[in-house]
Amino acid sequence: MMAGTALALLACSSSDFNTPTRLNKVRILAIQADPAQPALGASTTLRALVYQPPPSADGTDAGVSVTGYSWSWCPLPMSPTDPSQCPISPSDDVAANQLFASLGITGAPPLDLGPGETATFTNPFPAALLANVCSNGAAALPGLAGSGAPTATGSVSFKCTNTGFPITVVLVVHTTAGDLPAVFNVYLPTNDSIAPNLNPVVNGIKISGHQLDQAGTQEVLRNANVPVVLDLPESSAEPLPIPLDSNHPFEQLDISWYAECGDFGGDGLGGRRTGYSGDPNDPISTFPLAVQNTWNIPKLEGYAPAYARITVVVRDNQGGISRGGVAWTTGVVHLVDVLSDAGASDAPEADSGEPTPDAGALDSEEAGSADAIQESAP
């Protein structure tokens, strides 16, 4: 899914540079639409969480850097062989306008959404029209034949969900080493009577009760297993308008943990992925467990810089199918061998052994490549 990119390694050991949780090169970690589900005529702002390694200790930056962004969107199912390719080129305004005109749509945004760090998409589609497309597929689109879509087999499927109709946003991050493409689904309403999905709310990351900042004022011992807590309100797991069953009245939350050094998990808990099942009676997947983890900080030999960043991404889903809600937060810690007096009273003790191996299992988003997030294309 990703174009190749040169590595921008920090001082982590070379044996684990492909660990999915490790931040050590330019990566697209997530894309967000805010609001997550824009109604007819409403606009949503698209932005990406793009990690870039910090400059080297001598003030130079010899690694890969971001040089620009390109945003586009696609109203049709993406290419089955290349999920970053739309059947209609973003520059083909004629084919796009023909498709929209056949549906009686005026004022649709161009497929090319521009080169900024963020982009804006305005929903031009009435919910009833999208509901008809979800029910009848290509038969509901009289202009589809002229759009270049793969209609020969007659099996065009838009993969609508209980959340809505998916349009695909394509982001290409341009770097000094090449282009990094990623795709993201925005789910447009198909029923105006159902409340729109919202993005999760994240308020920061806490260590020893202290919220992390961007300056690294919180000290953390090297060679220590450090408890970390995501400040995520339980109300971020919204009630589902159409529950799959009576045991799961709330949406599920998937939480991904990333850091510039070390790994996550210990004692059978945590790992690079944690989550809430949406079942308030599930003793294994409770909300308090989902927001807790252990960050295993390496020794100086494993990571030489004095500061390290931790980033957490939260996504919502229903029965394993994305609902399109995304949020994230990030913070920096100061790594020390001995805590100062200000940080000694409530900081975790150093662990005499090696950091615990990552307890999180690989998921489909990152099993093939850890360079970007790709949700299922419609």
pLDDT digits (tens, 9 = 90+) for 179-222: 999 999 999 999 999 999 999 999 999 998 999 999 999 999 99
Q: Is residue 24 part of a domain?
A: yes
Q: How many Å is the Cα radius of gyration of the chain?
A: 22
Residues 58 and 132 in one domain: yes
Q: Is residue 363 part of a domain?
A: no
pLDDT value for 325: 98
Does residue 350 have a pLDDT over 50? no
Does residue 253 have a pLDDT over 80? yes
Q: Structural domain of residue 126, as residue ranges? A: 14-188
Does residue 343 have a pLDDT over 70? no
Rounded to whole angstroms, the maximal C-alpha distance in the chain is 72
pLDDT value for 13: 38
pLDDT value for 167: 97
Band of pLDDT at residue 266, cut at 50, 70 and 90 = confident
Q: Is residue 349 part of a domain?
A: no
Query: Which of 35-44, 50-59, 107-116 has the weakest average pLDDT?
Result: 50-59
Q: Is residue 194 part of a domain?
A: no
Average pLDDT, whole number, for the chain? Answer: 83
Domain boundary among 188, 218, 251: 188
Band of pLDDT at residue 128, cut at 50, 70 and 90 = very high
In this prediction the pTM is 0.85
Residues 298 and 329 in one domain: yes
The C-alpha atoms of residue 220 and residue 238 are separated, in whole angstroms, by 34
Residues 295 and 212 in one domain: yes
Number of domains in the chain: 2
Residues 282 and 239 in one domain: yes
Residues 122 and 248 in one domain: no
pLDDT value for 345: 41
Residues 19 and 124 in one domain: yes
Domain boundary among 156, 188, 220: 188
Residues 97 and 227 in one domain: no
Q: Is residue 6 part of a domain?
A: no
Domain boundary among 133, 161, 188: 188
pLDDT value for 137: 83
Residues 238 and 161 in one domain: no
pLDDT digits (tens, 9 = 90+) for 60-113: 556 788 999 999 999 998 888 888 899 899 999 888 998 899 889 988 999 999
pLDDT value for 48: 98
Backbone angles phi, psi at 147, to 5 degrees: -95, -10
Residues 212 and 302 in one domain: yes
Residues 131 and 91 in one domain: yes
Residues 272 and 333 in one domain: yes
pLDDT value for 63: 77
Residues 160 and 261 in one domain: no
Tell me which of 19 and 100 has the higher pLDDT: 100
Residues of the chain with pLDDT > 70: what percent?
A: 80
Band of pLDDT at residue 158, cut at 50, 70 and 90 = confident
Q: Is residue 356 part of a domain?
A: no
Q: Is residue 376 part of a domain?
A: no
Give the domain CATH number at 229. Answer: 2.60.40
Q: Is residue 298 part of a domain?
A: yes
Candidates 332, 295, 316; CA nearest to 212 is: 332
The number of C-alpha atoms within 13 Å of 263 and in the hemisphere containing its C-beta is 21
DSSP 104-161: T--SPPPSEEESSSEEEEE----HHHHHHHHHHGGGG-TTGGGGT---TTS-------
